[in-house]
Structure 1
């Protein structure tokens, strides 16, 4: 699954706490419609953006990331690096407590790093270099490495799923492949577990014991996280028309992802602002299952690349309208890294030929004409639903026998974890989206990885990509790093861990009496207030 400036000045934000306390009870509640339901609240086992967005309310990170993508101390007071980069020692800030009243200790951080490091691509790279992690005191813990890992702070501050959130040791010790059943963090809001109605609503209350970073300016996930609302309510409203009506009537304050057909409508309401807060965009992908036929054959995967017209997908997802400051919300010519990232390359883009006829010939040559595809579709996410319908039509025109399986996003996430063959409830592929920052570099890019059974669902085994990823981590300079990512893209267009389907910018919509919404990804609820 980022970005940047405040919509209001720091001086105004500083005056807020007294103002917020004086508001009527109803005005101290922020009502928000997220993009999806959240069936699983574990931020390490659930890589969906919705789980991460929930977690940023409840948990905190050792380091935050500012709008220039620089790590900044968050839970940590500071650190020292010794022994040629093989020893890192971290000191926690004073006064940090979990929502259950227990203090945040070094052992909680170690257990959280260990659990996260089993699931996250960046974390796996770190853990491969860890010799030991030790608690030296309640507030100090150390990480000893067998090889230097200069990107340690980037790993700790990442905003791409899965993020390193610190939870109590008792929860962090749960098997990383088993979901935790409660959300206890040390962040600015507490999750009201007994009010959670899956598929309907979630609630959070301000954590009165939260200790913000003592100075600085809020910037994405870094800096002071000041909670100005006493309560935040998430309303799960799958029907876009209902969400639009609720926003216009003032029954909700913020709709995360208005659909392409409706954001021009809500933008005409003088009480509603429509804005782009994720300036790195959303990158679409088709993820084939590399374990099952026909996509276990790279020639079949390459045939899909030949057929894809990225603009067809993005037009279906976001339409042709724009918003103020960005008249065109669609982009094509997207490869395996975000186009504005230092990793971006044009190598291999000529493989996107937009030719169904040529793709049919390639499919015939691969012996897969008429092959059955079980295509998963999340109908409650308009962007995924639109992309999937375009993809299903394309696959049929190519010559596949498409079995479209539609469900809600939570069900799709659960089913895509299955490695069973098609006749036993398996699947062939699905469409989804990642934030541009998720594809910024090899460290955060889970879907390009080729490490087999440990990979993100789809489970490609592509050793050549892994070799170049390792070369990027060990690159002595920017030129070497760029050479490694260029080679990764060249290999990716040949082996096709997934098919890039384009990029778009998703507007968000909120009542104009909200101010202080930070630019960035995920949607950030601190610093926001009602005026």
Structure 2
């Protein structure tokens, strides 16, 4: 009997090992555990899936390093979060207090918030994130937006104190930035850390995988502190070609996509597709590179501004989905409608060029000191609207004797700071400091986003005062003066504001429209509230 029992035990052990082996694939258990909660990994049974066709792929997923708004907001969350009116409201912060002098902000964090690896969020993570942004060794794209912070400290496990050098009204806006986990990054070079390819956040979706050149897959995080997402899985698919995005939307290969104006009419005829036309602070402009001698003469820049028929652009290229642009704060509450708008006027363009000494040559191209009035406008080839704008400007500016070429190049070979002129896209629906200081302040030349090396002492002073003035009335006046100074010494040809256009499968419900930023950034802002209905 003992021998028989022994062989029965051995047989049962062998059978158990065989079953375990059959339940594995590539060395991974079929029912792998989610490290955050010990339950079966939901990626193994994805449930309903939303596929979003994005225009471009990013290099890193880390809010400290790269401003990839939509995917960052799904994976990461901040102390604050923008609501439907783009006003910052407490998110991971339970509450906050501001000292009477506007220099000290104290935040109490919600307790029980967990990162996607199961570790609890504490004040140390907030301190680590902001300190990393301010660290000059960390290549943060938003460092200039936090330099008014004098110190940040963890007063308690769930309480953070921020002390400012001067009052800084935009701070609550800035603190919508996602918080990264100290335990996953401490002691590493954040610029090259593996975290940037395998991010860990506290948002409604956790990172699952990244197929370079193809897509990023996210899974609803069951332990999310807010509303649990109804859509189980989100795939962000990289489709740079606008015509391919439209085709995949038509065939149902993707559920939603950013549309070019030329695609709207066709897609509107498809009863399976809903068209969303969101208001936007997203403008298109031709950047003057001030390192190019031609553009160092303000009269040349003014002349070129007068030579552009913006209304024709809105009607002919944007097909009515936009409006003429004249200021980076045109959609902001501090907009200055009294500044020079550079309305189409070829006579004025001629006057400025002639006064600057540019005389028509034998071929009608203007010359000065033996040099032709000539330059190239570069545009990313993956963006049809920017390519059309560059082509249009090249043709239009010939009317005033400028020999202008349009070059459509792949992003991989573009260095904006090295181009003579570039077709930019910018715009923010938030505080007036956003997309103004980091675009036009001279401190942002070289290491920031002031790619055209624009420098104007008056503009610098106004931007500095406006971002550190607590009085709303005074701030408004300063930003209006800033817009006036910018118009008198233009860094760009502001051309048009473009509406954000999205095609979305009718099965997607719960989308809430609000004013969006550059290239429709923010459209996914309430995705955890969306549902799918077949």
What TM-score bracket applies, with the shorter chain setting the length?
0.7 to 0.9
**Given the alignment, which residue of 421, 436, 454 partners 1:460?**
454
Aligned to 1:299: 299
1:28 and 2:48 aligned: yes
Give 1:102 deviation, angstroms: 2.7
CA distance in 2 between counterparts of 1:396 and 1:430 reads: 18
Residue deviations 1:210-266 (CA, integer Å, cap 9, x gap): 211xxxxxxxxxxx4x422221112222333332222222221111x2222221111
1:107 and 2:133 aligned: no
CA RMSD of aligned residues (A): 3.2
Closer, same or farther: CA 137–269 of 1 in aligned 2, 3 Å:
same
Aligned to 2:395: 393
Aligned to 2:362: none
CA distance in 1 between counterparts of 2:246 and 2:169 reads: 46
Residue deviations 1:332-377 (CA, integer Å, cap 9, x gap): 25323124x2211123324344425446536644948625534321
CA distance in 2 between counterparts of 1:352 and 1:178 reads: 47
Residue deviations 1:425-484 (CA, integer Å, cap 9, x gap): x2222112224516x623442434343535522232222112222332354644322321
**Given the alignment, which residue of 413, 416, 423 partners 1:431?**
423
Aligned to 1:216: none
1:167 and 2:166 aligned: no
Aligned to 2:439: 447
Aligned to 2:274: 273
Residue deviations 1:153-199 (CA, integer Å, cap 9, x gap): 13323xxxxxx221123548777877873332221112234x3222x
CA distance in 2 between counterparts of 1:527 and 1:168 reads: 25
Closer, same or farther: CA 526–102 of 1 in aligned 2, 3 Å:
same
Give 1:95 deviation, angstroms: 1.8
Give 1:126 deviation, angstroms: 4.3
Aligned to 1:190: 206
Give 1:146 deviation, angstroms: 3.4
Give 1:208 deviation, angstroms: 2.3
1:357-436 correspondence to structure 2 within 5 Å: 357-358=350-351, 360-361=353-354, 364-365=357-358, 367=368, 370-371=372-373, 373-402=375-404, 404-409=406-411, 411-412=413-414, 415-416=415-416, 418=417, 426-435=418-427
1:207 and 2:200 aligned: no
1:21-60 correspondence to structure 2 within 5 Å: 28-47=48-67, 51-60=68-77
CA distance in 2 between counterparts of 1:380 and 1:181 reads: 25
Kept after mapping to 2: 8 A contact 1:284/1:433 = yes
Aligned to 1:262: 263
> In terms of mean alpha carbon deviation, does 264-273 or 287-296 score higher?
287-296
Residue deviations 1:258-294 (CA, integer Å, cap 9, x gap): 2222211111111111112x32342112222223333
Closer, same or farther: CA 60–261 of 1 in aligned 2, 3 Å:
same
Task: Please state whether the residue corresponding to 1:127 is helix, strand or coil.
Answer: coil
Aligned to 2:91: 74
Residue deviations 1:90-138 (CA, integer Å, cap 9, x gap): 121112222233322222212222344577898635423x332112233
Aligned to 2:10: none
Query: What are structure 1's unaligned runs of at least 5 residues?
Result: 1-21, 158-163, 213-223, 320-327, 419-425
CA distance in 2 between counterparts of 1:122 and 1:131 reads: 16
CA distance in 1 between counterparts of 2:343 and 2:104 reads: 46
Aligned to 1:3: none
CA distance in 1 between counterparts of 2:221 and 2:122 reads: 19
Task: Please state whether the residue corresponding to 1:242 is helix, strand or coil.
Answer: helix
CA distance in 2 between counterparts of 1:410 and 1:98 reads: 34
CA distance in 1 between counterparts of 2:315 and 2:46 reads: 39
TM-score (norm. length: structure 1): 0.78
Kept after mapping to 2: 8 A contact 1:517/1:528 = yes
Kept after mapping to 2: 8 A contact 1:282/1:503 = yes
**Given the alignment, which residue of 93, 101, 104 partners 2:110?**
93
Task: Please state whether the residue corresponding to 1:331 is helix, strand or coil.
Answer: strand
1:138 and 2:138 aligned: no
CA distance in 2 between counterparts of 1:354 and 1:94 reads: 61
Query: What are structure 2's unaligned runs of at least 5 residues?
Result: 1-41, 359-366, 517-521
CA distance in 2 between counterparts of 1:411 and 1:104 reads: 40
Aligned residues: 463
Kept after mapping to 2: 8 A contact 1:450/1:461 = yes
**Given the alignment, which residue of 336, 342, 346 partners 1:345?**
336
CA distance in 2 between counterparts of 1:186 and 1:411 reads: 35
Aligned to 1:492: 486
Closer, same or farther: CA 411–317 of 1 in aligned 2, 3 Å:
farther
1:332 and 2:324 aligned: yes
Closer, same or farther: CA 110–502 of 1 in aligned 2, 3 Å:
same
> In terms of mean alpha carbon deviation, does 109-118 or 373-382 score higher?
109-118
**Which structure has the bigger radius of gyration?**
2
Kept after mapping to 2: 8 A contact 1:59/1:166 = yes
Residue deviations 1:489-521 (CA, integer Å, cap 9, x gap): 111012212221121213211111110112233
